[in-house]
Amino acid sequence: MWFVHHMLAHGTLGWVAGALSGVLALAASFWLFVPMAVVIAALFMGPVCGAVERRWYPGLAAARPASLAAQIWDSLAFGLQVLVLTLFSLLLAPTGVGLAIGWVITAWAVGRGFFVAVAMRRMNRAAALSAYRQMRGQVLVQSAVLTLCGTLPVLNLLLPILGPAAMVHLVESRRPMTESW
């Protein structure tokens, strides 16, 4: 028993365990930063979207958002999808493929989450999902850039502002100038 304690506390095994836990903590912080930034962005989404709309789309009619129940349902259902896919990518992380899959899942989740949330400020859930399906490629390209920004120090602090602002422009780019959703 003394030998095991000594090896874990003072020996090579203890050093390896300490180094491995440090590497895992660093990896977890990279893995979880973007999702946490998205949660923070949700808190500021209304004011950011409102400011972008007032500046760039002053002629928009007052927003008629999707029902609160639809927004909550969408958030819970989507959050569960992202959780399952992220856990799958974590299982593959030791192979290296999981890291790439995790990044793609994060980019998809950031884009879909921001786009649909911004769209549901002005339309019902079905219309928001339809608009997302029509613009899926553009949303994924923008969200890949946003996700990359989310991994860079200092620039990552702008994700809660840049994400919703970029998606307002994408949502509004599909709307004819004379028509409201």
pLDDT digits (tens, 9 = 90+) for 83-131: 888 888 878 877 878 778 888 988 999 899 999 999 999 999 999 999 9
Q: Hey, what are 115's tokens?
A: 């786009």
**Cβ partners under 8 Å of residue 167, min gap 6:** 111, 114, 115, 117, 118, 119, 139, 142
In the chain, where the domains are located:
32-173
Question: Which of 9-18, 55-64, 150-159 has the highest average model confidence (pLDDT)?
Answer: 55-64
Looking at per-residue pLDDT, the higher value among 177 and 149 belongs to 149
pTM: 0.77
Helix ranges (DSSP H) in 57-179: 68-92, 97-119, 125-134, 136-150, 159-173
Q: Hey, what are 62's tokens?
A: 């007052």
CA distance 40 to 56: 24
List the single range of 46-55, 60-69, 89-98, 116-125 with lowest mean pLDDT.
Answer: 89-98
